[in-house]
Chains A and B, each alone.
Chain A
Amino acid sequence: MFRIYNKIRRTGKVTEPFRIDDDQVAELGTACQKEIARYFSGSLAIRMVDAGSCNGCELEMHAVNNSFYDIERFGIHFVASPRHADLLLVTGVVSRHMQEALKRTYAATPSPKLVVAMGDCAGHGGEFGESYASCGPVSNVIPVDAIIPGCPPTPIQLMQGILQLLQKK
């Protein structure tokens, strides 16, 4: 037990302020937080849906929860059910085998709701496009409020994308 506490103490705090880039030192997270306070009573609940991704986008979605980004400190958290969600974060092209599941998830999310297409696949079809097996980008299946480009988007790009959408609202 002591070794664990000791390790925690020595690791210290690694969480970073968000910087959009070097000359524009904006605290992205804090900006998000303000918008979230305005529209969502301080907390934005995200339900993710992998509609046909390669799993690359999911890895970066995990990363925003690590101690460096710790997205939860800005009131953004991932929830288990669409019924608890304000925002659907969708990755991948929509495979035809996931079409109905995505539509039902969308229907189960209470209004007002936002949909963000994360990554080039979800946004424009990416490497997989439309085919006998794929409906193509998310907007072919449910209405999309914002697209975050990248393959996959980095954790910072993901944060930025969510903020831009909130500011646009």
Chain B
Amino acid sequence: MTPVVRGQVVEFKDHLAAMGIVAEELSPLAGITAQLKLQTADWGKAARVAAQQRFRWSAIWGDHQSPDIEIKALFFGTDGHLLLQTNVPEKSAELASHTPFYVAASRPERYLHDMFGVTFTDNHDSRRWGRHQAWAETDFPLLESFPVGGFPAKETPPDSGYPFEPVAGAGVYEIPVGPVHAGIIEPGHFRFQALGENILRLEERLGYVHKGIEKIAVGRDLAGLIRLAGRVSGDSTVAHSWAACQAVERALQISPPPRASALRAILAERERIANHLGDIGAICNDVGFAFAQYQMSRLRELWQRQNQQLTGHRLLMDSLCPGGVTVDLDQSSMIAMREEIVQLRTEIEELLPLLLEYPSLQDRLSDYAILSPETAEQLGAVGYVGRASQLADDLRRDAPYPPYHELKIKVPVFSTGDLTKRLRVRGEEILISLDLLVKLLRAIPSGPLVTSFSLPNHEIEGIGLVEGWRGETLAYLRLDEQGRVVRYFPRDPSWLTWQALELMLDGVIVPDFPVCNKSVNGSYAGHDL
């Protein structure tokens, strides 16, 4: 398969017109290439045109502004992001689905239904997704009238009646796993249908760690918002807080000082490296290769200790603030960091070939759990999952923001989509990030750490889009005239990779599921919100 060639976002309006669809061109939010307002009736058709242009489907979210619910959907083309929007009345909230053209839209639409009550008419899957039993089918937590405390029963029953899709046949049996798993891992439910050892089908059921992040964000000030954003997914604290800060800054039409941007990138690359180190070890460990686990977790620990030295936090939490950063690097920590980079590079350059050439490890990982490039494209898979299957999107290169716009970003890409490739992408990304760190340190600008700002006396909105270690990470934000949050929607990249896990299990046996899961490593917290 040849690499995906996508259409131009700027030409989208003309393509719509050719189909007889009239769209109103809005002045786009900062960071977005084009923003169009559609008639409700054209919502589904527009997705068809987007699919013809081979745009990647990225996200959908709602925003209740009584008496309407505004729906926004994000796409990605060769020249950046396209934002489509439309309004549905809260009283009869119905909209055509994007799922006939984009598989990826199904769960986000089901979630949107559970939170806002919008029905997507031709989504063939109308089952609940975000909702279990904590609120009634007729309640929608993200409507303005729904109180943040809700109407909870003293005991919330388990969602045991959830209608999993059955698979029938002689000898087919079901294995339910979770929400409490066997290892140190987040909760979720996996329903396997198996024949002997072979997995016939896996169905995921997530939403167990839904904590109401979007609802409890409402009314927060900016500091409170960024604290929360840093805890959407603990392993992606830099990614989510950067996205949220960027949304604030774009809404306010300010930019962080150059030094702050450079420091943010340093933090983001450190986060990427730490997580990749952990994942490489864990993937190998799941096929019984403990050597890699011990080596990688040793390197990760050293890296986290350096995080502590540099920022006062082992996971880098609370290092960003609207307008800039809360941490700085002095001369001595820059020297320490340079030494650490050299050391890690030496170790990785020694360890990676060792793993990739070790026959009994490769025997377990090569040509196994394959996500084909075609399936990856249909899902719009991002990050290392996409890159192992020929989808090379990387916002640092393809929709760059400071300081990446001044850096050359290498993106490792493979076409076979097997387990080894998902491991290799991580390994190569560690080396690339180390290079970036060297460059960032060499050219770090001096100057202030924060751009000061005052709040305008009117409502503002903004969108943040950054390349987290898992891939494209989004934050949408609307603030009232006092700068308090009216709407915060964080979209973790895991939304676009969880489904990939279900679709890579052809020929995989049940005991190998954990390594497949690890190779995707979706965030439960970031997905469930």
A residues near B, CB below 8 A? 3-4, 7-8, 11, 14, 48-63, 65-68, 78, 80-82, 92-93, 95-101, 105, 126-135, 151-152, 154
Main secondary structure of the interface of A (DSSP, over half): mixed
Evaluate whether A132 and B186 lie within 8 angstroms (CB atoms) in the complex, with A4-B291, A56-B317, A63-B301 already known. Answer: no
Assembled-state Cα–Cα distance A7/B358 (Å): 14
Nearest-neighbour CB distance to chain A for B98, whole angstroms, equals: 26
Please tell me if the beta carbons of A68 and B301 are within 8 angstroms of each other in the complex.
yes
Chain A residue numbers with a CB within 8 Å of B301 are 63, 66-68
Please tell me if the beta carbons of B213 and A128 are within 8 angstroms of each other in the complex.
yes
Please tell me if the beta carbons of B215 and A131 are within 8 angstroms of each other in the complex.
yes
Evaluate whether A133 and B210 lie within 8 angstroms (CB atoms) in the complex, with A59-B235, A80-B183, A97-B156 already known. Answer: yes
Evaluate whether A4 and B358 lie within 8 angstroms (CB atoms) in the complex, with A53-B186, A99-B155, A133-B211 already known. Answer: yes
Please tell me if the beta carbons of B234 and A53 are within 8 angstroms of each other in the complex.
yes
Closest to A80 in B: B182
Tell which of A3, A55, A61 touches B354, judged by Cβ atoms closer than 8 Å.
A3
Is B197 an interface residue when CB atoms closer than 8 A count as contact? no
Which size class do B's interface residues fall under? Answer: 35 or more
Chain A residue numbers with a CB within 8 Å of B358 are 4
Main secondary structure of the interface of B (DSSP, over half): loop
Is B518 an interface residue when CB atoms closer than 8 A count as contact? no
Chain A residue numbers with a CB within 8 Å of B147 are 132
Evaluate whether A132 and B156 lie within 8 angstroms (CB atoms) in the complex, with A53-B209, A55-B234 already known. Answer: no
The 3 closest A-B pairs by CB, nearest first: A132-B150, A56-B234, A133-B212
Assembled-state Cα–Cα distance A8/B158 (Å): 47
* Selected interface stretch from B6-14, B46-54, B224-232, B322-330: B224-232
Interface string of B195-222 (1 = CB under 8 A from A): 0000000000001111111011000000
Please tell me if the beta carbons of A7 and B351 are within 8 angstroms of each other in the complex.
yes
Chain B residue numbers with a CB within 8 Å of A101 are 158, 179-180, 187, 208
Please tell me if the beta carbons of B300 and A133 are within 8 angstroms of each other in the complex.
no
Please tell me if the beta carbons of B211 and A132 are within 8 angstroms of each other in the complex.
no
Chain B residue numbers with a CB within 8 Å of A128 are 211-213, 216, 231
Chain B residue numbers with a CB within 8 Å of A59 are 234-235, 278, 315
Assembled-state Cα–Cα distance A118/B228 (Å): 19
Please tell me if the beta carbons of A95 and B209 are within 8 angstroms of each other in the complex.
yes
Evaluate whether A100 and B157 lie within 8 angstroms (CB atoms) in the complex, with A52-B211, A66-B301 already known. Answer: yes
Chain A residue numbers with a CB within 8 Å of B179 are 98, 101
Chain B residue numbers with a CB within 8 Å of A129 are 216
Is B241 an interface residue when CB atoms closer than 8 A count as contact? no
Which of A92, A98, A128 has the most chain B CB atoms closer than 10 A to its own CB?
A98
Chain B residue numbers with a CB within 8 Å of A7 are 291, 295, 350-351, 354
Closest to B360 in A: A1
Please tell me if the beta carbons of B212 and A105 are within 8 angstroms of each other in the complex.
no
Assembled-state Cα–Cα distance A78/B183 (Å): 8
Please tell me if the beta carbons of A152 and B315 are within 8 angstroms of each other in the complex.
yes
Please tell me if the beta carbons of A55 and B235 are within 8 angstroms of each other in the complex.
yes
Chain A residue numbers with a CB within 8 Å of B304 are 63
Nearest-neighbour CB distance to chain A for B244, whole angstroms, equals: 13
Chain B residue numbers with a CB within 8 Å of A81 are 182
Is B453 an interface residue when CB atoms closer than 8 A count as contact? no
Nearest-neighbour CB distance to chain A for B344, whole angstroms, equals: 14
A-B contact pairs, 10 of them (CB 8 A): A55-B524, A55-B525, A56-B237, A58-B186, A81-B182, A97-B159, A98-B208, A128-B231, A132-B152, A133-B141
